[in-house]
Chains A and B, each alone.
Chain A
Amino acid sequence: MSGLSYEASKSVALKTILILAVITIVEVLVALAGKGYIIEGLHFPHAFMGLVMVVLSITKAYLIMYEFMHLKYEVPTFVKTILLPILLLVWFVIALLVEGGYYLNSRESVVNPVKTEIEK
């Protein structure tokens, strides 16, 4: 299937699961370290933490899909039919997060519309 021998694919699987485990531990440690749990008073900026978490999670997703789900060894056209539609999500993320930010900014006028009218 994968073109690898039984022994070789066995060691690839073991290596992959160990990398996944290490990444998970790093994620949790960064999450805790960034909020001062490990070293008192140490705080990482939100944007930095978010970036690290997203990049590490996508790395995990890549490993699971390419090694565990064997996407690495499938025909390239087939892989494209699976991965290209996922790009649609990029716009989905941007659109809805912007929308959420808009709700936050207009919350004042949306939550208490009557109150603002009276005060005028």
Chain B
Amino acid sequence: MASDTLTHGTNTDHNADQDNWGGGKEPFKASYGKVMIWYFILSDAFTFAAFLITYGALRFSVPTWPVPDFVFSTFPGGFHHKPLLFVTFMTFVLLTSSYTMVRAVQEGHRENKSGVVKWMVLTIFGGLGFLGCQAWEWTNLIAKEHVTIFNNPFGTHTESGVYLMGDGHDIKEGDTFQAGDSYLIHFHDGEYKPLQYKVTSEGPDKDSVKEQVMGPKAFGALFFFITGFHGFHVSVGLFILILVCINAASGLYVKRKNGYEMVEKVGLYWHFVDLVWVFVFLFFYLL
């Protein structure tokens, strides 16, 4: 057969299925596929780094920025004022799926087919769970809080004052606030309704009546673009995981006798997705 001739012609090793390296001594003691998935990951890491560093630059370029523990404080089921709880939950879902992926790779190394399939199915459920959480978070931000890529209703007060009207949610007429406090401008009847307030902090503007202003515009675009790009990576990872899982279950990798290397490669990609989330979590939710 043609493929047999090709392998035997270029390979000095006895086991043609296991080793297709034809260039003499392997410098990295890793297969071509594994080396290349690592370099793909490296280049993808630079793409994500560029996005996240741009986020940092734009955040540094404006006087105030939406405070994460104010913006991300809702939890499914109508809970409010639970800062960072939901995103921590999301992080745990993704971390757990990374662990089940490690277990799948380990089972692969000892050629345990049912073990590989079992742990990969669990990983797939973890990935689906994470995407579900992200879908909920996006829905909440878009439909309830009306953040768009052009509008960001999350603002920060730069002076203290007293509200002259309530918003029908958390703020009542007469409530006071300090400089640095966050607010959300609610959206009713097709438009954002900023509240009026009287300035109480000392200065030339004391006792003047002002209106809440919208927060820095870039926030919405950066949030949806970066978490969206990460979510896209998760989706692609899920697609490949499902393919590899079906292949593993069908016994394809048994024949290759290379310790389920394909599972190891998709595992590397999956851990990378988790690795990126560590930094998305850092930039958007912790800092």
Once the chains are docked, how many angstroms separate the CA of A27 from the CA of B277? 14
Once the chains are docked, how many angstroms separate the CA of A26 from the CA of B35? 34
B225 proximal to A (CB < 8 A): no
Whether B28 pairs with A86 at a CB distance below 8 angstroms is no
Once the chains are docked, how many angstroms separate the CA of A89 from the CA of B271? 20
Once the chains are docked, how many angstroms separate the CA of A74 from the CA of B109? 16
Whether B49 pairs with A92 at a CB distance below 8 angstroms is yes
B163 proximal to A (CB < 8 A): no
- On chain A, the residues within 8 Å of B39 by CB distance are 81-82
Q: Which of A86-107 contact B (CB under 8 A)?
A: 86, 89, 92-93, 96-97, 99-101, 103-104, 107
Whether A64 pairs with B286 at a CB distance below 8 angstroms is no
Whether A54 pairs with B54 at a CB distance below 8 angstroms is no
Once the chains are docked, how many angstroms separate the CA of A25 from the CA of B53? 24
Whether B61 pairs with A103 at a CB distance below 8 angstroms is yes
Whether A17 pairs with B96 at a CB distance below 8 angstroms is yes
Annotate A58-85 by CB proximity to B: 1 below 8 A, 0 otherwise.
0011001100110000110110011001
Interface size classification for chain B: 35 or more
Whether B56 pairs with A54 at a CB distance below 8 angstroms is no
B30 proximal to A (CB < 8 A): yes
Interface size classification for chain A: 35 or more
Whether A100 pairs with B59 at a CB distance below 8 angstroms is yes
Whether B271 pairs with A78 at a CB distance below 8 angstroms is no
Whether B58 pairs with A61 at a CB distance below 8 angstroms is no
Whether B92 pairs with A21 at a CB distance below 8 angstroms is yes
Annotate B51-86 by CB proximity to A: 1 below 8 A, 0 otherwise.
001101111111100011100000000000001100
Query: How close is B147's CB to chain A, nearest CB, in angstroms?
Result: 21
- On chain B, the residues within 8 Å of A25 by CB distance are 88
- On chain B, the residues within 8 Å of A6 by CB distance are 106, 109-110
Give 27 CB contacts A-B under 8 Å. Answer: A10-B103, A13-B102, A16-B99, A16-B102, A24-B91, A31-B285, A50-B287, A53-B282, A54-B282, A57-B282, A61-B279, A68-B102, A74-B29, A75-B30, A78-B30, A81-B39, A89-B53, A92-B50, A92-B53, A96-B54, A97-B60, A100-B56, A100-B57, A104-B61, A107-B61, A107-B62, A107-B63
Using CB atoms and an 8 Å cutoff, list the residues of chain B in contact with chain A: 27-30, 35, 38-39, 42, 45-46, 49-50, 53-54, 56-63, 67-69, 83-84, 88, 91-92, 95-96, 98-99, 101-103, 106, 109-110, 259, 267-268, 271-272, 274-275, 278-279, 281-282, 285-287
